[in-house]
């Protein structure tokens, strides 16, 4: 087998290309495949000419460049920041500081198709500038002139209001590439929840229809977010926000909304149903009717009326006789008999003889997720989130609109109720609510979910917070998680729960940036050859390079890394993961010794990786007989 030269690879994991519709739903227009859109979606680099043909759908200034941005590979890497986490050697939880689009691209291969749930709380488009300022929207002057809002002299033709498209286009251009990459991280039975307010709800729905497919829209949840509204508003008082829900594909199962309530009766008559008859056994129907005999005949009016086929006697709130009743029932005789055998109870409370039932539910029966979440009822309001952060940070206001833990726990329960070990991702991590919620949910439900949280390394300009020792948002996130872990560690189930996290930071790649040779500059050619001889930057560190290799090879950041015993002259590390069928054996020493080559034993699918200049051509030939070898 020929030895492969390892290079940073940022292409989408081809193993995930199972079905074209699942990978590129936007390429299907009215169930017809559009090859231009398909090419645009799957191309590694997109040129302006690729977007000449436009189609029906959500359009905005900057969309073309936003699509390009989704396809441009990251040139960075992630490095471990040892000592800033908790229980770093054992935990599966990961927190990453860095610009989230770059981070998503870097982890895309390793986490493609692995996440059961993604929760996002992106910046709301309130008209203020937001940090995620990717350089792909046209200037205000260019936009106003092109859309006819100013003349050639720059004089405004009409007032610039929130209805102007540019107000929305910048936000959409920020969201598009992030959602595009995020979709690849979801499992086929995965789901994404996105919090949003009124400003961009309609645009977010259209954007997600394009990226996830309109057929995968599950609904919009209305969240009652406040205990009371603001009396300062003289127009509408905002007490709700929304959570947009999309599934990855038709493979998604259910959103759990709780167990059925057996304490509430339900009618088994529906006026639009066909008329059928049910035979009711004696002595099982409870009633509020007065004692006495009720003659056979028609009771009630209209299409919901029923007919008793024989006389019945009521005594002490029970119908003593067996009887036959005819009407537009929703239950069949067989279903009625089955329910009665399981302990269902029948009642008739009024003289129109409308039959109702306290249904007997199977042990695994459940309700779907309702479209309303009452934050007041489950202690999941803005005030709850604010009060918790006040407690963590000495009564100093660190976030305006952090989400409450109980809200995220509610969504985790809905998405993962039937799966005890899932990966949950949040790449607008903020104060760390999702990460906190995952650990607390695990503790309370004895589950083993893991999180990946990503937060932009955003500087803080609040003097009170800076005086506490926090210079950027990621430090606040880590401090909140450590505080939460300290609290959760007091729980009786703490020893069986993963209460930890490891920290990574977006950094420069360990590989040199390759330049394109122009065909005439001999000095540039010499530089290229020298780079080929050594593809790594001069100041690379083994621990940083190891992390980059993991991601290139598709291994997640929580992979198990252990030093292999038996190699006396080299350090060989073995990397394994539950998500990968093979193992990596990595040696980053400057020379791979002859003894190591002789002792190396690889499984059928395992890979050995070393520095290119650490082995001679003769060594490579010998290693080739051992299995799959890659050099850096």
CATH of the domain at 247: 3.40.50.150
DSSP E strands: which ranges in 98-255? 115-120, 186-196, 217-224, 240-247
What are the structure tokens assigned to 363, written together? 């042990």
Q: Distance (Å, rounded) from C-alpha 389 to C-alpha 273?
A: 54
617 vs 32, residue with greater confidence = 617
**pTM for the predicted model, two decimal places:** 0.77
Which of 447, 477, 506 is the last residue in one of the domains? 506
Q: Are residues 378 and 342 part of one domain?
A: no
115 within 8 A of 539, measured Cβ to Cβ: no
Say which range, 120-129, 433-442, 603-612, has the weakest mean pLDDT.
120-129
Quote the percentage of the chain above a pLDDT of 90. 55
Q: Distance (Å, rounded) from C-alpha 193 to C-alpha 227?
A: 23
* Mean pLDDT confidence for 315-335: 93
Confidence class of residue 143 from pLDDT cuts 50, 70 and 90?
A: very low
Please check the confidence at residue 129 and state whether its pLDDT lies above 50: no
Q: Are residues 545 and 457 part of one domain?
A: no
Say which range, 123-137, 379-393, 549-563, has the weakest mean pLDDT.
123-137
Q: Are residues 387 and 347 part of one domain?
A: no
Which of 329, 358, 387 is the last residue in one of the domains? 358
Q: Are residues 391 and 450 part of one domain?
A: yes
Q: Is residue 606 included in any domain, yes or no?
A: yes
Per residue in 160-209, pLDDT (tens digit) is: 445 445 668 888 989 999 999 999 999 999 999 999 999 889 999 999 99
303 within 8 A of 269, measured Cβ to Cβ: no
Please check the confidence at residue 509 and state whether its pLDDT lies above 80: yes
Please check the confidence at residue 159 and state whether its pLDDT lies above 60: no
DSSP E strands: which ranges in 359-408? 372-374
Q: What value does the mean pLDDT of the chain take?
A: 84
Q: Is residue 147 included in any domain, yes or no?
A: no
Please check the confidence at residue 372 and state whether its pLDDT lies above 60: yes
503 — phi, psi (to 5°)? -115, 135
Q: Is residue 27 included in any domain, yes or no?
A: no
Say which range, 144-153, 344-353, 474-483, has the weakest mean pLDDT.
144-153
pLDDT at 275: 92
How many residues are there in the chain? 632
Say which range, 125-129, 341-345, 604-608, has the weakest mean pLDDT.
125-129
Please check the confidence at residue 562 and state whether its pLDDT lies above 60: yes
What are the structure tokens assigned to 195, written together? 């919090």
Number of domains into which the chain is organized: 3
pLDDT at 526: 55
pLDDT at 136: 38
Q: Are residues 270 and 250 part of one domain?
A: no
Q: Is residue 169 included in any domain, yes or no?
A: no
Q: Is residue 14 included in any domain, yes or no?
A: no
Quote the percentage of the chain above a pLDDT of 70. 79
pLDDT at 15: 42
Per residue in 50-59, pLDDT (tens digit) is: 445 555 678 8
Q: Is residue 398 included in any domain, yes or no?
A: yes
Please check the confidence at residue 122 and state whether its pLDDT lies above 80: yes
Q: Are residues 537 and 455 part of one domain?
A: no
pLDDT at 514: 62
Please check the confidence at residue 308 and state whether its pLDDT lies above 50: yes
132 within 8 A of 138, measured Cβ to Cβ: no
pLDDT at 623: 84
Q: Are residues 391 and 331 part of one domain?
A: no
404 within 8 A of 384, measured Cβ to Cβ: yes
pLDDT at 484: 97
Q: Which residues contact 440 (CB under 8 A, 6 or more apart)?
A: 405, 409, 484, 488
Helix (H) / strand (E) element for 280: namely: strand 276-280
Identify which of 632, 421, 409, 418 has the alpha carbon closest to the alpha carbon of residue 533.
632
Per residue in 459-493, pLDDT (tens digit) is: 888 888 888 888 889 999 999 999 999 999 999 88
Q: Are residues 327 and 273 part of one domain?
A: yes
pLDDT at 205: 96
Say which range, 116-125, 217-226, 434-443, 460-469, has the weakest mean pLDDT.
460-469
Say which range, 301-315, 354-368, 473-487, has the weakest mean pLDDT.
354-368
Please check the confidence at residue 119 and state whether its pLDDT lies above 70: yes
Per residue in 400-409, pLDDT (tens digit) is: 789 999 999 9
Q: Distance (Å, rounded) from C-alpha 312 to C-alpha 292?
A: 8
Say which range, 142-151, 251-260, 266-275, has the weakest mean pLDDT.
142-151
Q: Are residues 112 and 221 part of one domain?
A: yes
613-630 CB burial, b ≥16 within 10 A, e <16: ebbeeebbeebeebbbbb
Q: Which residues contact 280 (CB under 8 A, 6 or more apart)?
A: 319, 322, 323, 324, 325, 346
Q: Are residues 592 and 461 part of one domain?
A: no
Please check the confidence at residue 267 and state whether its pLDDT lies above 50: yes
Q: Distance (Å, rounded) from C-alpha 106 to C-alpha 72?
A: 11
Enumerate the H helices of 190-329 as residue ranges: 201-212
Q: Is residue 31 included in any domain, yes or no?
A: no
Structural domain that includes position 534: 522-631
Which of 444, 475, 506 is the last residue in one of the domains? 506
Residue identified by tokens 């009371």 is 228
DSSP E strands: which ranges in 480-582? 502-508, 560-563, 573-576
Q: Are residues 320 and 225 part of one domain?
A: no
What are the structure tokens assigned to 88, written together? 């770093």
153 — phi, psi (to 5°)? -85, 0
* Mean pLDDT confidence for 130-141: 48
Q: Is residue 605 included in any domain, yes or no?
A: yes
Per residue in 512-557, pLDDT (tens digit) is: 876 554 445 555 545 555 555 678 998 999 999 999 999 999 999 9
Q: Are residues 436 and 455 part of one domain?
A: yes
* Mean pLDDT confidence for 441-455: 97
């Amino acid at each position: 087998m020929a030895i492969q030269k390892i290079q940073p690879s940022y292409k989408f994991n081809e193993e995930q290309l199972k079905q074209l519709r699942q990978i590129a739903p936007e390429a299907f227009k009215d169930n017809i495949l559009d090859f231009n859109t398909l090419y645009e979606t799957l191309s590694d680099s997109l040129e302006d000419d690729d977007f000449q043909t436009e189609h029906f759908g959500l359009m905005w200034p900057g969309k073309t460049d936003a699509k390009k941005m989704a396809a441009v590979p990251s040139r960075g890497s992630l490095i471990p920041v040892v000592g800033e986490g908790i229980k770093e050697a054992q935990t599966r939880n990961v927190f990453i500081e860095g610009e989230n689009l770059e981070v998503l691209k870097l982890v895309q291969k390793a986490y493609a198709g692995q996440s059961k749930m993604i929760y996002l709380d992106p910046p709301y488009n309130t008209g203020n500038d937001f940090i995620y300022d990717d350089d792909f929207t046209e200037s205000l002057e260019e936009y106003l002139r092109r859309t006819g809002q100013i003349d050639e002299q720059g004089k405004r033709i009409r007032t610039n209001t929130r209805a102007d498209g540019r107000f929305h286009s910048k936000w959409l251009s920020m969201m598009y590439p992030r959602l595009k990459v995020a979709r690849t991280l979801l499992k086929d039975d995965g789901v994404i929840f996105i919090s949003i307010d009124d400003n961009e709800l309609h645009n977010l729905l259209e954007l997600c229809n394009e990226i996830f497919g309109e057929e995968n829209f599950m609904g919009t949840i209305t969240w009652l977010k406040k205990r009371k509204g603001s009396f300062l508003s003289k127009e509408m008082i905002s007490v709700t926000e929304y959570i947009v829900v999309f599934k990855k594909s038709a493979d998604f199962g259910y959103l759990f909304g709780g167990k059925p309530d057996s304490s509430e009766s339900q009618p088994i008559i529906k006026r639009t149903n066909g008329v059928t008859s049910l035979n009711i056994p004696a002595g099982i129907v409870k009633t509020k009717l007065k004692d006495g005999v009720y003659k056979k005949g028609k009771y009630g009016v209209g299409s919901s009326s029923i007919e008793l086929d024989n006389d019945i006697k009521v005594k002490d709130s029970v119908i003593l006789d067996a009887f036959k009743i005819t009407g537009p029932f929703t239950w069949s005789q067989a279903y009625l008999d089955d329910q009665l055998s399981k302990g269902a109870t029948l009642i008739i409370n009024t003289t129109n003889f409308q039959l109702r039932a306290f249904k007997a539910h199977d042990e695994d029966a459940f309700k779907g997720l309702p479209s309303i979440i009452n934050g007041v009822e489950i202690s999941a309001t803005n005030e709850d989130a604010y009060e918790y952060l006040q407690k963590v940070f000495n009564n100093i206001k660190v976030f305006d609109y952090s989400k409450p833990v109980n809200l995220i726990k509610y969504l985790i329960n809905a998405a993962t109720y039937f799966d005890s070990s899932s990966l949950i991702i949040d790449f607008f991590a903020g104060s760390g609510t999702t990460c906190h919620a995952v650990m607390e949910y695990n503790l309370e439900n004895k589950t083993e979910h893991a999180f990946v949280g990503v937060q932009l390394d955003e500087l803080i300009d609040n003097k009170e917070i800076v005086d506490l020792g926090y210079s950027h948002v990621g430090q606040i996130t880590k401090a909140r998680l450590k505080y939460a872990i300290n609290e959760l560690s007091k729980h009786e189930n703490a020893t069986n729960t993963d209460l930890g996290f490891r920290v990574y930071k977006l950094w420069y790649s360990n590989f040199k940036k390759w330049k394109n040779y122009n065909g005439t500059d001999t000095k540039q050619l010499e530089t290229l050859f020298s780079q080929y001889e050594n593809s790594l930057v001069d100041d690379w560190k083994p621990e940083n390079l190891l992390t980059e290799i993991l991601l290139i090879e598709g291994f997640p950041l929580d992979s198990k890394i252990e030093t292999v015993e038996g190699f006396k002259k080299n350090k060989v590390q073995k990397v394994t993961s539950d998500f990968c069928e093979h193992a990596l054996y990595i040696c980053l020493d400057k020379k791979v010794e002859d003894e190591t080559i002789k002792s190396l034993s690889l499984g059928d699918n395992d890979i050995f990786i070393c520095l290119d200049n650490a082995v001679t051509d003769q060594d490579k030939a010998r290693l080739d007989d051992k299995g799959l070898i890659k050099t850096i």
